[in-house]
Amino acid sequence: MTAARSASGRGAARRRALNARAIFAGPGLLFITLFMTIPVVLVLVYSFFQRGRFGGVVWEFTLENYARAFEPVYVNVFTESLLIAGTTTVLALLIGYPTAYAIARLPQKWRTIALVLVVLPFWTNFLIRTYAWIVLLNSEGLLNRALVDIGFISAPLGLLYTPGAVIVGLLYAYIPLVILPVYASVERLDRQLLEAASNLGASRARVFFDITLPLTLPGAMIGAIFVFVPSMGNFVVPELLGGGKTVMVGNLIRDQFLETRDWPFGAVLALFVIALLVLLFALQAYISRRINGRTARA
């Protein structure tokens, strides 16, 4: 009898737990499924069908959209996008890594303020941050005038509407996304490990390249992905700072959906960006597992 009662009590407790799960997590998960997962799956589905006349699709299966993505015009756009996003990412790491390192080495009380100052611009209007660079790089802009005034150049340079301007704009938009994960991994570093290495006679350079760099690599890779992938998909910066001369994957996708209205082809292009994201995350996970395994053995 007691056993039966406690069993039914356990049943009731389990039902209550299930109820609590449904009440708390249910609505949110449902919402995400409805307004993120289904839309993204829809993009995947659309990529296999023929285009409708005014957007949408005609439900006839085809692989034509995928074949089109390999036409030279689009391959060129992809190559240029990879080049621009890649350069942006390298620069973001070159500037962001030492910055994050410097913040992690600040006295405790300054670190939060230093981090907030890095993140703050990221929470402001993205268009305005991009617009600020038009003001700076314009032929009558501050940078050109300053360079002419100090006699460094005699006539204003065409700084705006170049791939360089696009790279600067993307860098400006996404650099906090490198600094945060690198900071987190530098902060987690085991100080004793570093001290032990230098006590055993390793030079500072050796300590950095043999210990610090490998252990912070997973964080740096996360940061690199957070810069690289959105850079590929950004259409605002190439348009405003590249003057339409630099066409990136993001611009192509935007045009397919809002101008030429070829949604299935736009879907294929978007899937390439998602595939890149997934691939890079998988690579990051693989490398960080290997690094963790190695330090665990050591």
Partner 1 sequence: MPSIGWLRLPLWFTYLFLYLPIAVLVVMSFNASKIPFVWTGFSTRWYGELAQNELVREGLINTLIVAIGATIVATILGTLLAIGIARYVRSAIVEAYSLAPAIIPDLVLAIGLLAFFSLIGVSLSLFSVLLSHVVFGMAFVAAVVIARLGQTDPSLEEASRDLGASAASTFVRITLPTLAPGIIAGALLVFTLSIDEFVIAFFTDGPSTPTLPIVIYSMVRFGVTPEINALATILLLVSFTIVISAQRITRLTDAV
As measured in angstroms, the least distance from the Cβ of 191 to partner 1 is: 14
In the complex with partner 1, the residue whose CB is nearer, 229 or 247, is: 229
Residue 247 or 254: the one with the smaller Cβ distance to partner 1 is 254
User: Torsion angle, CA of 185/186/188/193, rounded to 10 degrees?
Assistant: 130
How near is the Cβ of 208 to partner 1 at its closest, in Å? 11
177 by Cβ neighbours in 10 Å (0-12 / 13-18 / 19+) ranks as: buried
Is 194:211 a contact under the CB 8 Å cutoff? yes
Give strand ranges (E) for 39-91: 49-51, 57-61
Identify the DSSP state of 188.
H
Query: What CA–CA distance (Å, rounded) separates 189 from 216?
Result: 8
**For partner 1, which is the closer residue by CB, 16 or 294?**
16
CB of 150 to partner 1, least distance (A): 16
The amino acid at residue 279 is L
CB of 116 to partner 1, least distance (A): 6
Residue 84 or 175: the one with the smaller Cβ distance to partner 1 is 175
SS3 220: helix
Q: Least distance from C-beta 297 to partner 1, angstroms? A: 25
Q: Which is nearer to partner 1, 145 or 188 (CB)?
A: 145
> Which of 225, 222, 272, 220 is CA-nearest to residue 250?
272
